[in-house]
Structure 1
Amino acid sequence: MTLSLWLSLLGASTLISFTPGAGAINTMTNSLNSGFRRSLWGIMGQQAALLIHVMVVAAGVGLLVSRSPMAFTLIRYAGAAYLVYLGVRLILAKAQGADDIAVQGRESAVAMFRRGLWVNLLNPKAIVFFLAFTPQFIRLDAPALPQYLIFIGTIIVVDIVVMWLFFAASAKSFSRFTATERGQRILNLCFGTLFIFVAALLIFIH
């Protein structure tokens, strides 16, 4: 991959990562509920999903999914349903006092990783996006493996930096709300509603 092509990939990846979506909402929620540092576990789960998406596209399965209305629709509804589930669970979550948080502890790293994985994995538009995006940076007359490694490595590093140092860090400005039960309920309502809103976009915008 030439330097000019890589710089184009870097710029495109940065813009894409800054686009608000379910991953950004999930990252901010983790940062608020479990802390800035531990929110990285959810981000890593999201990156694992991106890696799977690129592997699927590289294997040609993405083309099959994009050309199969039934397969695309099933995955789309599954992804939307999962986001609605996360949103409703957040809205109905009981606000915790400081003593409750100390007793119950914060969410486990495995749980955050798993949720991050499913948030990004159950998004069929990501497969279609990578199907259209990937060929722009892969040359057929050059060895494929090094190109794919640079491609996915750039996307993952950029997304980690943006998610952690921008979205997770931005959530710290809301930290004063988490100190009170009323503030927690307001934030849970806001972020839960955002999850449901993203799910609605996934269903109604084609």
Structure 2
Amino acid sequence: MELSLWLSLLGACVVISFTPGAGAINTMSNSMRQGWRTSIWGVIGQQIALLIHVIIVAAGVGILVASSPLLFAIIRYAGAAYLVYLGIRMILSKPNVASDGKSTGKIMTPWAMMRQGILVNLLNPKAIVFFLAFTPQFIRTDQPLLLQYLIYIGTVVVVDVLVMFFFFAGTARSFQRFTATTRGAKILNIVFGVLFILVAGMLLLIH
């Protein structure tokens, strides 16, 4: 991959990663409720989903999803339903009050956070369609494909990890003072629960 093309890819990845979405909300929520360092597991899960999306597109399955209204709708509604489920569960959950840096609420295991991260990003058919349109811009069919895809995937994942962990999760740390009280923790649960539900609504309404 030429340097100029890679720099274009890098710039596009930065802009896309900084665009707020379900992944950013999930990362910030994990950071405040489970801790900044622990939130990396959710970020890793989201990257696994991105890898799956790229593999789907590379394998040509993305074309099937994009061209099949029924399949697209099934995935779209499943994704929206999962985000609504996360939102309602967060709103109704017990406030996760921090004391001396330790949480007294429900602690998610690394695997649970990773699984949630995978589902948040994976159950988004628009991501598949996006990568279907985005990937070909940076892949040259007249050059070795494996190395190009490795560079492409590596750039997408590294940029997203840095933005999610150091920006979104890091920014969320400044709000952790709210988790020191039951009232503050409950408000945060409601705020992020509503945000998940709003993203679900956007997923259904924006075509």
User: Which of the five TM-score ranges fits, normalised by the shorter chain?
Assistant: over 0.9
Structure 1 unpaired stretches of 5+: none
2:72 paired residue number: 72
TM-score by length of 1: 0.97
1:193 paired residue number: 194
Deviation at 1:94, TM superposition (A): 1.4
2:131 equivalent to 1:130: yes
Q: Deviations over 1:108-163 (max 9, x none)?
A: 10000000000000000000000000000000100111000000100000000000
**Alpha carbons of 1:96 and 1:44: their partners in 2 closer, same or farther (altered >3 Å)?**
closer
Q: Deviations over 1:32-59 (max 9, x none)?
A: 0111111000000000000000000000
Separation in structure 1 between the aligned mates of residue 96 and residue 138 of structure 2, nearest angstrom: 48
Deviation at 1:106, TM superposition (A): 2.4
Q: Deviations over 1:60-111 (max 9, x none)?
A: 0000100000000000000000000000000011124457x65666211000
2:26 paired residue number: 26
Aligned-residue identity in percent: 66
| Secondary structure of the structure 1 residue equivalent to 2:143 | coil
Separation in structure 1 between the aligned mates of residue 48 and residue 76 of structure 2, nearest angstrom: 19
**Alpha carbons of 1:142 and 1:96: their partners in 2 closer, same or farther (altered >3 Å)?**
closer
Runs of 4+ in 1 over 3 A off after TM superposition: 96-99, 101-105
Separation in structure 1 between the aligned mates of residue 157 and residue 52 of structure 2, nearest angstrom: 12
Structure 2 unpaired stretches of 5+: none
CA contact (8 A) 2:98 2:179 kept: no
Q: How many residues align?
A: 205
**Alpha carbons of 1:102 and 1:157: their partners in 2 closer, same or farther (altered >3 Å)?**
closer
Separation in structure 1 between the aligned mates of residue 201 and residue 97 of structure 2, nearest angstrom: 32
C-alpha RMSD of the superposition: 1.2
**Residue type matched to 1:202 in 2?**
L
TM-score by length of 2: 0.96
Stretch of structure 1 that moved more, 101-110 or 85-94:
101-110
